[in-house]
Amino acid sequence: MPSPGHASVTGDLPVHVAIIMDGNGRWAAQQGLPRIAGHERGTENIRRVTNAAAEAGIDYLTLWAFSTENWSRPLEEVAGIMRLLGEALDRETMELHRQGAQLRHIGSLEGLAPDLRKSVEDAIELTKDNTRLKLTLAFDYGGRQEVVRAMQEIVRAGIPADEITEETIALHLYTCDMPDPDLVIRTSGEHRMSNFLIWQAAYAELHFSPVYWPDFGPEHLQLALDDYASRERRFGNISAEAAALTSARGSR
Ligand code: IPE
Ligand code: IPE
Ligand code: MG
């Protein structure tokens, strides 16, 4: 939620960073490899960036791995991504747990094979009391679908129309117990949101990196954090500088 009345250069760390991990296919094409090799390298890269984010002191890291629209890709690619998710959970969950990270999920698990769904649920259950880094995997996630689901829940709960506030809606989103993202990073040079966190990112700072996701390393994360620190978040207000000038004029 925006904080009204606050207009300042952040100069500090974002609490919640969300990343649109894009460019796996183009990375693979560049290397003369099949697309799935890009997804494989992209999946491996998650550990590197997660460690860097934890070391930087980020509290919430949200990584978008699969959109509701990505189901329209060739069957073989979708099946490959599902396989990679299962392998990554098998390989990484214990290490995440040892590091005190809490794994969460936003999106739908309904379209996943039962064993894959169970792996996700088990990893969430195992790490639920950890407090170091809240690592949220956005998988089969779409912002519009999330808003539709929230509306359905609100109507089903019988909440009267004139009692619905921004908070009511926020409380029915997958992210109900998370702060809004302060910084959204998209890799691979695309400048669009593609249906990601459309409600929650209303006031996020956006950083676009030209680097394909498999090559996006700690140094690129640091560039995004430096970029964020230099931004002035105004939330509709005027800048601190303009406010000082206005009050100085007024007192003359
Ligand atoms: C992001 O990389 C991963 C997913 C969307 C699953 P892409 O697969 O979109 O890679 P490009 O955009 O084709 O390069
Ligand atoms: C967005 O990337 C989804 C993920 C990165 C998981 P896409 O590659 O699917 O988005 P578009 O199609 O370029 O907008
Ligand atoms: Mg893409």
Task: Tell me which residue of 176, 170, 7, 145 sits closest to 67, measured CA to CA.
Answer: 145
Task: Please report, rounded to a whole number, the percentage of residues in the chain having pLDDT higher than 90.
Answer: 91
Q: For residues 106-113, give the mean pLDDT.
A: 98
Q: For residue 38, which ligand has an atom nearest its CA?
A: 1
Whether 22 is in the pocket of ligand 1, judged by its Cβ within 6 Å, is yes
**Ligand 1 atom 1: the closest Cα is on which residue?**
22
Please answer whether residues 248 and 76 qualify as being in contact, where contact means their C-beta atoms are separated by less than 8 angstroms: no
DSSP string, 48-116: HHHHHHHHHT-SEEEEEEEEGGGGGS-HHHHHHHHHHHHHHHHHHHHHHHHTTEEEEEES--TTS-HHH
Q: Is the pLDDT of residue 43 over 60?
A: yes
Residue 19: strand pairing partners: 63, 185
- CA 252 to ligand 3 center in whole angstroms: 56
* Probe residue for ligand 2, chosen from 22, 45, 108 as the CB with the greatest number of ligand atoms within 8 Å: 22
Q: Give residue-wise pLDDT tens across range 47-67.
A: 999 999 999 999 999 999 999
Whether 214 is in the pocket of ligand 1, judged by its Cβ within 6 Å, is no
Whether 81 is in the pocket of ligand 1, judged by its Cβ within 6 Å, is yes
- This prediction has a pTM of 0.95
Q: What's the pLDDT at 166?
A: 98
- Average pLDDT taken over every residue of the chain: 95
Whether 21 is in the pocket of ligand 2, judged by its Cβ within 6 Å, is yes
Q: What's the pLDDT at 4?
A: 43
The verdict on whether 226 is a catalytic residue reads no
Task: Please report, rounded to a whole number, the percentage of residues in the chain having pLDDT higher than 70.
Answer: 95
CA–CA separation, 221 vs 211, rounded Å?
11
Distances in Å between the Cα of 52 and the Cα atoms of 12, 15, 59, 100, 147 are: 16, 14, 12, 14, 31
Q: Is 150 helix (H, G, I), strand (E, B) or coil?
A: helix
CB atoms inside a 10 Å sphere around CB 233: 18
The tokens 């998209």 sit on which residue?
186
CA–CA separation, 246 vs 196, rounded Å?
38
Active-site option among 51, 59, 70, 130: 70
List the CATH code of the domain at 16-250: 3.40.1180.10
Q: Give residue-wise pLDDT tens across range 146-204.
A: 999 999 999 999 999 999 999 999 999 999 999 999 999 999 999 999 999 999 999 99
Whether 40 is in the pocket of ligand 1, judged by its Cβ within 6 Å, is no
Helical segments of 110-217, H only: 114-126, 143-156, 166-171
Q: What's the pLDDT at 8?
A: 57
* Probe residue for ligand 2, chosen from 35, 64, 67, 139 as the CB with the greatest number of ligand atoms within 8 Å: 67
**Ligand 2 atom 8: the closest Cα is on which residue?**
22
* Probe residue for ligand 1, chosen from 19, 20, 21, 24 as the CB with the greatest number of ligand atoms within 8 Å: 24
Angle at 201 between CA 81 and CA 182, to 5 degrees: 100
CB neighbour burial string for 67-100, b if at least 16 within 10 angstroms, e if fewer: bbebeeeeeebeebbbbbbeebbeebbeebeeee
Q: What's the pLDDT at 240?
A: 87
The verdict on whether 140 is a catalytic residue reads no
Active-site option among 22, 140, 180, 182: 22
Q: For residues 75-85, give the mean pLDDT.
A: 98
Q: What's the pLDDT at 1?
A: 44
Q: What's the pLDDT at 24?
A: 98
Q: Is the pLDDT of residue 133 over 60?
A: yes
Q: Which band of pLDDT confidence, cut at 50, 70 and 90, is reported for residue 250?
A: confident
